[in-house]
Amino acid sequence: MTIEDRQPRVMLLIPSASYRAPDFMDAAQRLGVEVVVGTDRQNPFNDPATGRIVALDFEHPDHGANQIEAFAVLHPLDTIVAVDDGGALLAARAARRLELPYNSVSAVEATRNKALLRERLAAAGLPSPTFEVHALLDDPRPQAARLEYPVVVKPLALSASRGVIRADTPEQLIAAIERAGRILTSPEALEECGAPLADRVLIEGYVPGIEVSLEGLLDDGRLRVLALFDKPDPLEGPYFEETIYVTPTRLPAAEQQRVVETAEAACRALGLVDGPVHAELRLNDAGAYAIDIAARSIGGLCARTLSFGTGMSLEELLLRHAIGAEVDSYERDARAAGVMMIPIPSAGTLRAVQGQAEAEAVSLIESVTISIHPGSRVVPLPEGSEYLGFIFARGETPEAVEAALREAHGRLRFDIE
């Protein structure tokens, strides 16, 4: 049977810890595509009516790709979409086997290994901080004595700023390496990072400046910018908690241009050519620095800030791209929009969240979603990797949206024991 005879069949790779399953499933339903969910656990979803589910070996992408290949013999796949970082490498390997269009394995590998990312970007001549890998078994003192400060210590393959720690002195560096090393020994961190990358950390020169995030879509190597977000809270460490994202950016046009050119150059350097890109960049007088480039769309529930044309979600846009369906408009809704990822203020057991109705009553606030259940243990950065929830706002200006997010957050009270 050919694609013309049936609905396109999409395999969505959704790790069980992902926030993004419902939004992608909704988009698939609206589009009328047949979805097969590939995930890392048996039956993690309550609602079997939402689609077929297959458990795949995400940890060993070669084995996982075998499983997908075997599945596709009986149920041919038209495209594979990784909704998060966790499935990107598996998608690349499986797409290569099935000869489906996708980024190369080597390009995706560089987005999943921060040391490789630095090597490739520096080799292509992009503005780069100094960087070196430190093996956790080695004595950190000689390195600590030799380096110039400040630096940033980071695990090679964790996400959401987990284990990312700034150090201003040799003593702080030694403590940061120890702390990142301890984080890497936890079972979930080890699973996410993968054993071969969990015995070392990256030490980078600290790049000062403001930070923005670019949401893009690659089509045959061409980068289309879908949104540029400002991150108006200072991100100076020692931990790098993501909080507010607001689009459109308030950067002057020339600076925006520098951001876009750097992101394009970074994609070229890595060999990324197809599908979503989420890039984090820092800007200062020396230029635009690509801090992080991922072959996926924006994480958490943050994509809910975006809407294209007459109300298409980012997920629908990405699925349309993946199946080669027409996209009416890549124009983002003209209003300003923003999200606050609600940081975890302290470690303990979350007893209650109060003030949600008061926060939702703030003008321009669209919704407040609390994503952690009362009774759960909560852990702040750098050890933790979750948010308490998300606050969404939309309005005429980025300033008004940012102010609304802060006001709403101020009305929430977290009872953590």
Ligand X SMILES: Nc1ncnc2c1ncn2[C@@H]1O[C@H](COP(=O)(O)OP(=O)(O)OP(=O)(O)O)[C@@H](O)[C@H]1O
**Measured distance CA(157)–CA(155) in Å, rounded:** 6
Tokens (6 digits) for 314? 């980012």
Q: Judged by CB, which is closer to Mg ion: 25, or 176? A: 176
Q: Is 202 in the site for ligand X (CB under 6 A)?
A: no
Q: Which is nearer to ligand X, 279 or 378 (CB)?
A: 279
DSSP 8-state secondary structure symbol assigned to residue 361: T
**Would you say 375 and 227 are in contact if contact means Cβ atoms under 8 Å apart?**
no
- Per rule CB under 6 A, is residue 109 in the interface with ligand X? no
- 235 versus 314: smaller Cβ distance to ligand X: 235
Q: Which of 144, 412 has the CB closer to ligand X?
A: 144
- Beta-carbon count within 10 A of 57 CB: 16
Helix (H, G, I), strand (E, B) or coil at 215: strand
Asked if residue 134 binds ligand X (CB under 6 A), the reply is: no
Q: Is 292 in the site for Mg ion (CB under 5 A)?
A: yes
Q: What's the CA gap between 220 and 272, in Å, rounded?
A: 9
Return the one option of ligand X, Mg ion, none that residue 154 interacts with (CB less than 5 to 8 A, by type).
Answer: ligand X
207 binds ligand X per the rule CB under 6 A: yes
If the CB atoms of residues 299 and 338 are measured against ligand X, the closer one turns out to be 299
Q: Which range in 54-62, 139-147, 284-292, 331-339 contacts Mg ion by CB under 5 A?
A: 284-292
Cβ neighbours for 97, distance < 8 A, ≥ 6 positions apart: 65, 68, 69
Which window, 161-169, 261-269, 305-313, 365-373, contacts ligand X (CB under 6 A)? 161-169
215 binds Mg ion (CB under 5 A): no
Nearer to ligand X by Cβ, of 102 and 206: the residue is 206
Contacts of 48 (CB under 8 A, 6+ apart): none
Does position 192 interact with Mg ion (CB under 5 A)? The reply is: no
Tokens of 216: 């893009």
| Interface region with ligand X, contact rule CB under 6 A, candidates 47-55, 65-73, 286-294, 353-361 | 286-294
How far apart (Å, rounded) are the C-alpha atoms in residues 282 and 274?
Answer: 24
- Say whether residue 291 binds ligand X (CB under 6 A): yes
Residue 352 CA to its chain's centroid (Å): 28
Q: Residue 320: how many CB atoms within 10 A of its CB?
A: 17
Q: Which of 63, 108, 107, 17 is nearest to 300 (CA)?
A: 17
Nearer to Mg ion, 243 or 307 (CB): 243
Interface region with ligand X, contact rule CB under 6 A, candidates 183-191, 206-214, 259-267, 328-336: 206-214
| Residue 160 sits in the site that holds ligand X (CB under 6 A) | yes
Which strands sit side by side in the sheet containing 287-294, from one edge to the other?
287-294, 275-284, 210-219, 222-230, 244-247, 336-342, 389-395, 365-370
Task: State the number of binding residues for ligand X (CB under 6 A).
Answer: 21
Q: Does 20 bind ligand X (CB under 6 A)?
A: no
Of positions 18, 79, 113, 159, contacts ligand X by CB under 6 A: 159
Which residue among 102, 229, 240, 308 contacts ligand X (CB under 6 A)? 240
Residue in 200, 203, 193 with CA at minimum distance from that of residue 137:
200
Q: Which two tokens stand for residue 382?
A: 């750098």
> Which residues form the interface with ligand X (CB under 6 A)?
85, 114, 129, 152, 154, 158-162, 164, 204, 206-207, 211, 235, 240, 280, 291-292, 294
